[in-house]
Amino acid sequence: MNISNLVLSDMVFATKKGIEITEGSNIEFNNIKLVTQQASPLVYIQNSSKLTFNDLSIEPNIPLVFSINGDRTHSIHTKGLNWNNAIKKDEFLFGAKANSISYQQ
């Protein structure tokens, strides 16, 4: 079942792995803090589109923030992320393109 048209705001998630989005669309994350046990990647995206991440809180020394996967992944937007805590910002696998994600301060 694909998830679409969802807004998550002002939340703290304590998880083993972080966020995983497969075949999702029109999903917005606002002011989210992730406390993870295994945070590489912090956000895994596969064949998803129209995703927005505003003010995602990143813990220190995160090895990889975004793993972007699949040739159908596009229109991912980020704003207000503190990249100083990340060792690597992103990776693109399985046909995903670097222009599928945009970064704003």
- Mean pLDDT of each 10-residue bin along the chain, 105 residues long: 92 92 97 87 97 91 94 96 87 97 92
| Total number of domains constituting the chain | 1
3-state DSSP call for residue 2? coil
Place of tokens 């805590």: 85
Could you give the CA distance from residue 83 to residue 92 in angstroms, rounded to a whole number?
18
Could you give the CA distance from residue 52 to residue 49 in angstroms, rounded to a whole number?
9
Place of tokens 């994350």: 29
Q: What is the pLDDT of residue 38?
A: 79
**Residue 51 structural domain:** 4-104
Among 61, 63, 24, 59, smallest CA distance to 41 is for 63
Structural contact between residues 49 and 71, judged by C-beta atoms closer than 8 angstroms: no
Q: What is the pLDDT of residue 97?
A: 97
Q: Which amino acid is at 66?
A: F
